[in-house]
Amino acid sequence: MSSSDPTVQPVPASVVEQVDAADVTLSNPKRAVISLGSNLGNRLETLQGAIDALEDTPGLRVKAVSPVYETDPWGVEPGTQATYFNAVVLIKTTLPPSSLLERGHAIEEAFERVRDQRWGPRTIDVDIVAYQDVVSDDPQLTLPHPRAHERAFVLVPWNDVDPQAEVPGRGSVAGLLAAVGQEGVRVRADLELRLPE
Q: Which 8-state DSSP code applies to residue 83?
A: P
| Gap between the Cα atoms of 123 and 108, Å rounded | 8
| Gap between the Cα atoms of 20 and 60, Å rounded | 9
* List of long-range contacts for 178-186, beta carbons under 8 Å, 24+ apart: 180/150, 180/151, 180/152, 180/155, 181/152, 182/152, 182/156, 183/152, 184/71, 184/72, 184/152, 184/153, 185/69, 185/70, 185/71, 185/86, 185/152, 185/153, 185/156, 186/69, 186/70, 186/71
CA atoms within 13 A on the CB side of 178: 6
Is 188 tagged catalytic?
no
Is 151 tagged catalytic?
no
Identified catalytic residue from 43, 61, 103, 113: 113
Identified catalytic residue from 43, 61, 103, 122: 122
Is 186 tagged catalytic?
no
Is 125 tagged catalytic?
yes
Identified catalytic residue from 23, 61, 127, 151: 127
Identified catalytic residue from 23, 43, 103, 125: 125
**Residue (of 46, 132, 119) closest to 87 by Cα position:** 46
Which active-site residues does the annotation give?
A: 113, 122, 125, 127
